[in-house]
């Protein structure tokens, strides 16, 4: 054993003539050893940094069965070829460590590609392993969550520029759902998602209609009661136009649309309806004898309207107002109808008292009546002393007027005495007829109802049976010269 050499320095006291140095070899050996260890550590560190670590990266961490998943592998520099032909190694992707998904050749220790998630995969997390084919120890594993299958993506349609209704129709046709709608415009200005993007069916598409441009508005003036010219001037001064005119032959404005006080855009039209001039009157035509089906056209030509129709049948026999009267335009004319007979024409019986028989016959003939005299009466130049019906009675055309002609000769007095005797003899019969007339009057008051349509004194007025049966009784009401007395005569059907 070689004795350790020690060196040491010894200092002399201050002022000594020299210095003695003593040295030891141990510190230098420890320094060299530390240097060697450091160099070795540097070499080992460089070697470790040069060795790549295999890694596998998946493009997504979840996907449904059948989906295509991109992947990237690197750090497989130590993966050797499986034969002499290959220049680089081969990488295999394994599903849950045993099912091979795909193989790819490495290039510089890296590879990339896609694989399909197995259709039989459970809806849970699975392991995907990238493994060197020639060396199973080289590999790396990533996890993939298998989710439920989903429908294929659909493209979002372009609905910009469409109305809201059109856009929503296009969205539904693409198997999507209209979402939130913002803005108050008339057309779509923007949409989210944008057109062309692929999204899942039933995804929501939001629409933005933007803000419509602000337009000037005007207040519609009140033109009711104005003439057409004044209404047009008032509307034009407000920036509006006179539109359609209903009843153009009328008078002043009766109605308007839009109403006064409402808002409208400049240039809009206001429709008006004209009322009837208060002085316009038309003459009522004679409808009696016409078919009921022809009456509306006849009245319309006179600017009149058909009112209430009473009775049964198709022929007009009475009307109210009467023919020839003046009424306001668009007035109603009420009519009564009956089937199978024409209306009764009536005339006023003239006064024949004081006339001769010939004069009376001529006068009656001029109004459509006939003269009747008792047998043997009327010989000579006598004058009429009485008549039946009496003067001013309304009777049907063609009726007969019975007259008594009084002889002016002396023998007339004798004849008068004889006539008086006959009148006394007939008093009993006359009393019986009076009782019957009272009974008839009671029946009339009880069973007849005045027809408000054809209630003229010179025409038939009632159509009602006493027992309310379908049987119709048509009667004529004729005034008597005595006030309060009228004659009721049934008209033959």
Q: Do 140 and 69 lie in a common domain?
A: yes
Over 70: is that where the pLDDT of 305 sits?
Answer: yes
Distance CA 52, CA 74 (A): 8
Q: Could you tell me if residue 21 is inside a domain? A: no
Q: Is the pLDDT of residue 46 over 70?
A: no
Domain count, the chain: 6
pLDDT band at 35 (very low <50, low <70, confident <90, very high): low
Q: How confident is the model at residue 440 (pLDDT cuts 50, 70, 90)?
A: low
Contact 133, 124 (CB under 8 A): no
CA-closest candidate to residue 156, choices 209, 208, 200, 188: 200
The answer as to whether 9 is a domain residue is no
Give mean pLDDT, residues 32-60: 66
Does a structural domain hold residue 382?
A: yes
- Lowest-pLDDT choice from 319-323, 347-351, 415-419: 415-419
At which of 104, 127, 146 does a domain end? 146
Q: What is the CATH number of the domain that holds 254?
A: 3.30.10.20
- 25 located within any domain: no
> CA-CA distance, 283 to 302, in Å (whole number)?
8
Pick from 376, 364, 373, 295: which is nearest to 333 by CA?
Answer: 295
pLDDT digits (tens, 9 = 90+) for 150-204: 778 899 999 999 999 999 999 999 999 999 999 888 899 999 999 999 988 889 9
**Higher pLDDT among residues 291 and 279, named by residue:** 291
pLDDT band at 14 (very low <50, low <70, confident <90, very high): very low
Same domain, 319 and 385: no
- Main-chain dihedrals φ then ψ at residue 68, nearest 5 degrees: -95, 125
Token pair in block for residue 366: 């001029």
For residue 493, pLDDT over 70 is answered with no
Average pLDDT, integer, range 217-243:
92
Residues 348 and 334 in one domain: no
Q: How far apart are CA 334 and CA 314, in angstroms?
A: 14
The answer on pLDDT for 443 being more than 60 is no
Residues 257 and 332 in one domain: no
Domain holding 92: CATH number? 2.60.40.1930
What are the pLDDT digits (tens) for 351-380? 999 899 899 999 999 998 999 877 555 555
Q: What's the 3-state SS for 135-153?
A: CCCCEEEEEEEECCCCCCC
Work out the number of other CB atoms within 10 angstroms of the CB of residue 337: 22
**Mean pLDDT, rounded, for 469-487:** 47
Mean pLDDT confidence for 310-314: 85
Does 292 lie in the same domain as 247? no
Domain boundary among 411, 437, 458: 411
pLDDT at res. 473: 47
**Where is the domain boundary, 96, 128, 146?**
146
Where residue 285 falls among pLDDT bands split at 50, 70, 90?
A: very high
What is the maximum span of the chain, computed from C-alpha positions, in angstroms? 225
Domain of residue 201, residue span: 154-208
**pLDDT score of 313:** 82
pLDDT in tens, 332-347: 999 998 765 555 677 8
Q: Look over the chain and give the mean of its residue pLDDT values, rounded to a whole number.
A: 77
Q: Are residues 286 and 269 in the same domain?
A: no
Tell me how far apart the alpha carbons of residues 229 and 220 are, in angstroms, rounded to a whole number: 17
- Domain presence at residue 124: yes
**Per-residue confidence (pLDDT) for residue 257, from 0 to 100:** 93
pLDDT at 2: 43
Q: Is residue 2 included in any domain, yes or no? A: no
pLDDT tens digits for range 392-420: 888 888 889 999 988 655 554 544 544 44
Residue 196 lies in a domain: yes
23 found inside a domain: no
Q: Do β-strands 8-10 and 139-146 pair in parallel, antiparallel, or remain unpaired?
A: unpaired
Are residues 59 and 134 both part of a single domain? yes
> 0.75 cut: is pTM over it?
no
Residues 442 and 467 in one domain: yes
Convert the pLDDT of each residue in 119-150 to its tens digit: 999 999 999 999 999 998 999 999 999 998 87
């Amino acid at each position: 054993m070689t004795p350790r050499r020690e060196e040491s320095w010894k200092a002399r006291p201050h002022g000594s003539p020299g210095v003695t140095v003593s040295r030891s070899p141990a510190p230098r050996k420890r320094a060299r050893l530390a240097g060697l260890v450091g160099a070795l550590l540097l070499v080992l560190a460089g070697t470790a940094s040069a060795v790549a670590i295999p890694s596998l990266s998946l493009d997504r961490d979840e996907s449904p069965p059948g989906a295509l998943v991109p992947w990237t592998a690197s750090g497989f520099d130590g993966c050797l070829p499986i034969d002499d032909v290959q220049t680089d190694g081969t990488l295999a992707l394994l599903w849950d460590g045993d099912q091979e998904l795909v193989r790819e050749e490495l290039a510089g220790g890296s590879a990339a590609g896609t694989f399909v998630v197995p259709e039989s995969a459970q809806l849970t997390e699975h392991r995907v392993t990238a493994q060197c084919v020639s060396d199973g120890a080289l590999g790396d594993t990533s996890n993939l969550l298998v989710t439920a299958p989903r429908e294929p993506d659909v493209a979002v349609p372009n609905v910009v520029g469409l109305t809201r209704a059109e856009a929503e129709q296009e969205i539904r046709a693409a198997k999507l759902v209209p979402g939130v709608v913002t803005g108050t415009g008339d057309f779509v200005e923007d949409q989210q998602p944008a057109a062309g993007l692929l999204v899942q069916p039933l995804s929501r598409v939001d629409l933005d209609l933007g803000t419509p441009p602000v337009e000037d508005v005007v207040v519609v003036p009140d033109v009711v009661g104005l003439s057409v010219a004044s209404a047009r001037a008032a509307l034009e001064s407000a920036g509006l136009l006179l539109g359609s005119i209903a009843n153009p032959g009328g008078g002043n404005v009766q109605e308007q649309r839009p109403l006064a006080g409402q808002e409208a855009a400049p240039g809009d039209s206001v429709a008006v309806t004209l009322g009837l001039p208060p002085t316009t009157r038309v003459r009522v035509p004679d409808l009696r004898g016409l078919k009921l089906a022809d009456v509306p056209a006849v009245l319309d030509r006179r600017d009149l309207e058909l009112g209430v129709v009473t009775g049964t049948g198709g022929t007009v026999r009475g009307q109210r107002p009467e023919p020839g009267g003046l009424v306001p335009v668009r007035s109603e004319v009420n009519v009564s109808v009956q089937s199978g007979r024409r209306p009764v024409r009536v005339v006023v019986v003239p006064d024949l008292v004081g006339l001769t028989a010939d004069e009376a016959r001529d006068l009656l003939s001029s109004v459509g009546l006939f003269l009747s005299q008792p047998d043997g009466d009327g010989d000579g130049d006598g004058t009429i002393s009485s008549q039946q019906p009496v003067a001013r009675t309304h009777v049907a055309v063609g009726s007969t007027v019975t007259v008594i002609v009084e002889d002016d000769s002396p023998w007339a007095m004798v004849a008068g005495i004889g006539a008086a005797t006959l009148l006394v003899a007939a008093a009993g019969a006359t009393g019986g007829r009076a009782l019957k007339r009272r009974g008839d009057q009671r029946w009339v008051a009880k069973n007849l109802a005045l027809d408000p349509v054809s209630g003229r004194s010179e025409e038939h007025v009632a159509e009602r049976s006493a027992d309310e049966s379908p049987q119709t009784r048509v009667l004529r009401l004729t005034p008597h010269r005595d006030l309060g007395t009228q004659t009721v005569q049934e008209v033959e059907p």
